[in-house]
Amino acid sequence: MTAIITAPELAQELAGGTPPVLLDVRWQLSVAKAAGAPAFDAEAEYAAGHLPGAVFVDLDLELASPPGAHGRHPLPDLAVFGAAMRRAGVSAARPVVVYDGGQGWAAARAWWLLRWTGHPDVRVLDGGLPSWRGGLSTDAPAVAEGDFAPAPAAAGLLDADAAAALARTGVLLDARAGERYRGEVEPIDRVGGHIPGAVSAPTTENVGPDGRFLPAAELRDRFKALGVSEDAEVGVYCGSGVSGAHEVLALAVAGIPAALYVGSWSEWSADPSRPVAVGADPQ
């Protein structure tokens, strides 16, 4: 099963007899509030125009718990997440397609959560809303309640200790920008740098200028150059488990399974007992 779908493919499926459930998860990381500017209003963006039939899902409220000791976007309470998915019409027997404003990070977070909690058929619209060539709707759709009941998998999720161990025994990829990995700048968290042993792998390098994923073969070559071999155990982290989900999605496109450290750097760096590496060297 592929993890992504193109806009023409989605249009064809929506016109068919069993269209997928559509989730609009527009969101963006913003430090605008610190500068006194208004924060990005995802729900207002949705109301101004969305794919016909799509239901809005709030990343901060429904795909994450409140910020705290486990990072800025900890795992959501499963009861809250499950209720949000059922409200949106998600059922185990019906395909789901997720999209966002084009960056792909938020859509990937929803994709990862649904896959990790047992949904068998979830895809991300490659290129997000900007790739859509059809009309948009301003109507909030009336959807039938879904029946999805989250059942988390034993695999696919890392905590801080498991991430630290994987950096020594497998390949732990850091999906943040290179300057944050090296510790040259840190606009959000307590301290800059990276988990010792982690490899810098900015998720922005997995897509082309149009925001769509590179071909699977190119992604495989990229990850191979970063040390990912056929028998390597692979994990990913980022700042708070959002852009890292996008890297897990890129790995899935390349046919490589990977786990996500959801707490990521926002959890790791908040704990003074955790070691921090700086510079381009993983160690």
- Residues facing 97 on adjacent strands: 22, 123
- Listed residue (116, 108, 110, 198) closest to 155, CA to CA: 116
Rounded Cα distance, 225 and 220, in Å: 9
Angle ∠(181,260,111) on CA atoms, nearest 5: 115
Note if 187 is an active site residue.
no
Task: Please provide the DSSP assignment of 97-125 as one string.
Answer: EEE-SSS-HHHHHHHHHHHHTT-S-EEEE
Whose CA is closest to 116, among 258, 222, 16, 243?
Answer: 258
> In angstroms, rounded to a whole number, what is the distance separating the alpha carbons of residues 257 and 56?
28
Residue type at position 79: A
Comparing CA positions, the residue from 92, 49, 4, 74 lying closest to residue 263 is 74
Q: Which of 175, 238, 252, 253 is catalytic?
A: 238
Q: Which amino acid is at 139?
A: D
Give catalytic residues, as residue numbers.
238
